[in-house]
């Protein structure tokens, strides 16, 4: 991770194909494009790879989440349960449609704690949204059982976990809806882009129309298309989709490389007393984009992270202090900082996060260090890195 590390001739050829046609937009201009439809091609490939009936490409992972929620009829005042550890896009997509992000604690999977989820359900809850952060998943079977019990939608934010599986199903395909990001630092990239997948035909049709100003896409005359409902512009371009057409064919190649590098790093830390690893639920297989491990205390994790950085191991992350990925630094959400007025439903329904107690999440995040697993590392480079990580962490724990 990320896919841009291994850009090659396949990506260049796909982009050149679009430039040669002269059509950069995914819709219309049928005669000019000479039969080239990159977005459609990528949607077909994504649906086949994820074993779902439908895939809708969007302009970003954030757009994918926003469109997925709207496609399922989620709107003003509806509550969406999400974890305290995620990227800010998760709650941005919820707020964008006037819905309420309900943050709940994580557990040792580093995503939604099913017990916390069930405790947070109210009459306004409509969706449970696990976020498969850093390449691994929540206890999806437990969450699905909760959703079935309470008649809720299960929406998988798999933006950081494409290529992982749960009970033999690709991550993103286990729930009612799944979303991916294809931005520049994801396992496969379009530069900018995202996708929503589902087996529900109504959700797919809604997403198809909603993401293109409400166009119904019937017939071959774009100017004559009807608008069954209001929509917005969340389209991907043909140029971005072209890059993805090459990258999606390399997903298994990338996962194989990540697993190999991940395994070397993990084996180097396995026998260090005091180091434990993120729990992967039974039946789950990571996409190996990050190695996530715990140290015994927050103090030791902070020391180890600092020492790893000083040793030149600069793709190790301490999420507990991160501005984008953990609730503690989401001052703009906590203090409701916005350029304009929020909808009344949000003002009345949003919990007061300045008084929230997420100490159960802090217990895990305060002790977590994540190492990005890069595709471009050489065999010698991975071995050297593993040895250096082991040396640094052993030294910190011995102090």
Provide the annotated active-site residues. Answer: 186
Specify the 3-state DSSP secondary structure of 32: helix
DSSP state, 303? H
Give the sign of the dihedral formed by CA 29, CA 35, CA 38, CA 42. Answer: positive
User: Is the CB of residue 116 less than 8 Å from the CB of residue 363?
Assistant: no
The total number of residues written for the chain in this structure:
399
For every residue of 183-248, DSSP letters joined together read: BTTSSS--BS-EEEEES-HHHHHHHHHHTBTT----SS-GGG---SS---B-PPBHHHHHHHHHHH
| Token pair 């990001």: residue | 181
CA 23 to CA 351: how far, in whole Å? 46
CA 27 to CA 40: how far, in whole Å? 10
């Amino acid at each position: 991770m990320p896919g841009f590390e291994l850009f090659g001739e396949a990506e260049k050829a796909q982009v050149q194909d679009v430039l040669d046609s002269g059509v950069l937009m995914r819709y219309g201009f049928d005669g000019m494009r000479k039969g080239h439809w990159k977005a459609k091609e990528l949607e077909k490939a994504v649906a086949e790879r994820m074993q779902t009936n439908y895939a809708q490409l969007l302009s970003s992972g954030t757009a994918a989440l926003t469109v997925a929620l709207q496609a399922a009829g989620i709107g003003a005042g509806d509550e969406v349960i999400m974890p305290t550890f995620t990227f800010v896009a998760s709650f941005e997509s919820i707020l964008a449609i006037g819905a309420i992000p309900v943050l709940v604690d994580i557990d040792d999977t580093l995503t939604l704690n099913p017990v916390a989820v069930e405790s947070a359900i109210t009459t306004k809850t409509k969706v449970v949204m696990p976020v498969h952060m850093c390449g691994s998943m929540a206890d999806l079977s437990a969450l699905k059982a909760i959703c079935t019990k309470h008649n809720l939608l299960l929406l998988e934010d798999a933006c950081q976990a494409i290529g992982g599986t749960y009970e033999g199903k690709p991550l993103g395909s286990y729930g009612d809806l799944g979303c991916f990001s294809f931005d520049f630092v994801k396992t496969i990239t379009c530069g900018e882009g995202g996708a929503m997948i589902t087996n529900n035909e109504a959700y797919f049709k809604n997403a198809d129309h909603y993401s293109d100003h409400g166009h119904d896409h019937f017939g071959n005359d774009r100017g004559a298309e009807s608008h069954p409902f209001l929509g917005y512009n969340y389209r991907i371009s043909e140029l971005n989709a072209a890059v993805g057409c090459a990258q999606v064919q390399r997903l298994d190649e990338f996962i194989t490389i990540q697993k190999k590098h991940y395994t070397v790093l993990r084996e180097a830390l396995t026998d260090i007393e005091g180091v434990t690893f993120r729990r992967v639920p039974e039946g789950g297989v990571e996409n190996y984009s990050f190695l996530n491990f715990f140290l015994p205390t927050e103090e030791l994790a902070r020391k180890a992270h600092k020492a790893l950085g000083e040793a030149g191991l600069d793709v190790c992350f301490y999420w507990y202090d991160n501005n984008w990925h953990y609730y503690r630094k989401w001052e703009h959400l906590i203090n409701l900082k916005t350029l304009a007025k929020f909808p009344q439903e949000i003002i009345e329904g949003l919990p007061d996060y300045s008084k929230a107690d997420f100490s159960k999440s802090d217990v895990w995040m305060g002790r977590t260090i994540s190492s990005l697993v890069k595709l471009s590392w050489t065999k010698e480079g991975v071995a050297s890195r593993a040895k250096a990580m082991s040396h640094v962490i052993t030294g910190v724990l011995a102090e």
